[in-house]
Amino acid sequence: MEHYFSEKPTSTPKKHRFKTRIRNHDIIIDSSSGIFSVKEIDFGTRLLIENAKINGKEVLDLGCGYGIIGIAIKKMNPDINITMIDINERAISATKKNCESNNVEATILKSDIFSNPQLRNKNFDTIITNPPFSAGKKVCFKFIEESSKHLNKGGLFELVAPHNKGGESLKKKMIEIFGNAGELVKKAGFRVYISLKK
Ligand SMILES: C[S@@+](CC[C@H](N)C(=O)[O-])C[C@H]1O[C@@H](n2cnc3c(N)ncnc32)[C@H](O)[C@@H]1O
């Protein structure tokens, strides 16, 4: 069965284009079936972008989908270097197209979490993610565990989730891995959690 986190979606893509405004930036997104949140930006994603704390120059959008987090964060923080990665080939093609049409320079890589060789020795100052709940808790836990290995000291890990539908366990995992986890914002059942790499 095909999911938004399939590596190679095979269904004929049903294309969709939408425009969104985030913190005074107009962004046009070309999305399609087989990618997360086809019709419009996800509520949790927007909450994460609008409340994200950016620390340092190297920023990673982990599980970038069609690229909305990385594109918006780069527009809001033009001096950063943004890297965007996803396991889904269709999502990676959409991210490349969307970066081009929104004039965003980024490093875009297909990668199963950090498996891409270009990421082996690469560390970040901030890692931001709306994790793939539908892929299961094990994958979401791996997002947290692997991110801690690719963060510089003093770096930030930020994740959005519905608190009572799995988010609480992700926050606990962040405490286990980083030794700390706070909350940047909570709204409509969603929370943005943040951990500091010590
Ligand atoms: C909830 S979606 C968020 C997409 C996008 N960041 C957004 O907020 O609209 C999670 C993303 O994680 C990606 N993903 C799932 N498993 C992955 C893995 N093992 N490695 C990299 N990305 C993965 C999915 O393909 C999907 O695009």
CATH code at 140? 3.40.50.150
CA of 197 to the centre of ligand 1 (A): 22
Average pLDDT, the chain: 95
DSSP 8-class letter at 196:
E
Residue 123 DSSP code: -
Residue closest via CA to ligand 1's atom 25 equals 5
Which two tokens mark 99? 């970066």
Q: What spacing in Å lies between the alpha carbon of 56 and ligand 1's midpoint?
A: 23
Examine residue 88 and state whether it is found in any structural domain, yes or no.
yes
Q: Tell me the mean pLDDT in the region 58-73.
A: 98
Average pLDDT over residues 47-71: 98
Work out how many domains the chain is built from and give that number.
1
Average pLDDT over residues 174-187: 98
16 CA to middle of ligand 1, Å?
18
Q: Quote the ligand 1 centre to 49 CA distance (angstroms).
A: 15
Q: Tell how far the Cα of 135 is from the centroid of ligand 1, in angstroms.
A: 9
Residue 149 lies in a domain: yes
Q: Could you tell which of 87, 145, 158 is best to mutate to test the pocket of ligand 1, judged by most ligand atoms within 8 Å of the CB?
A: 87
Q: Residue 65 CA: which ligand 1 atom is closest? A: 27
Is 3 inside a domain boundary?
Answer: no
- The pair phi, psi for residue 23, each rounded to 5°, is 45, 55
Q: Is the pLDDT of residue 11 over 80?
A: no
The whole domain housing 133 covers 15-196
Residue pLDDT, tens place only, 114-139: 999 999 999 999 999 999 998 999 99
Is pTM beyond 0.95 here?
yes
pLDDT at residue number 194:
98
**Confidence tier at 8 by pLDDT (50, 70, 90):** confident
CA trace torsion 23, 95, 31, 114 (10° rounding): -100
Q: For residue 160, what pLDDT is reported?
A: 98
pLDDT tens for residues 21-41? 999 999 999 999 989 898 999
For range 31-52, the mean pLDDT: 95
Pocket of ligand 1 (CB under 6 A): 4-5, 36-37, 42, 45, 63-65, 68-69, 85-88, 91, 111-113, 130, 132, 135, 139
Q: What is the pLDDT of residues 84-104, one digit of tens each?
A: 999 999 999 999 999 999 999
Alpha carbon nearest to ligand 1 atom 13, residue: 63
> Cβ distance 50 to 61 under 8 Å?
no
The DSSP element (H or E) to which 72 belongs, if any, is helix 68-76
116 lies in some domain: yes
Gap from CA of 2 to ligand 1 centroid (Å):
14
- The gap from C-alpha 55 to its chain's centroid, in whole angstroms, comes to 16
Residue 2 lies in a domain: no
With helix as H, strand as E and coil as C, how does 5-69 read?
A: CCCCCCCCCCEEEEEEEECCEEEEEEEECCCCCCCCCCHHHHHHHHHCCCCCCEEEEECCCCCHH
* Within-domain flag for 10: no
In the chain the first and final C-alpha atoms are separated, in Å, by 40
Q: Does residue 8 fall inside a structural domain?
A: no
**For residue 61, which atom of ligand 1 is closest to its CA?**
6
Mean pLDDT of 149-169: 97
Ranges of H-type helices in 77-197: 89-101, 137-149, 167-178
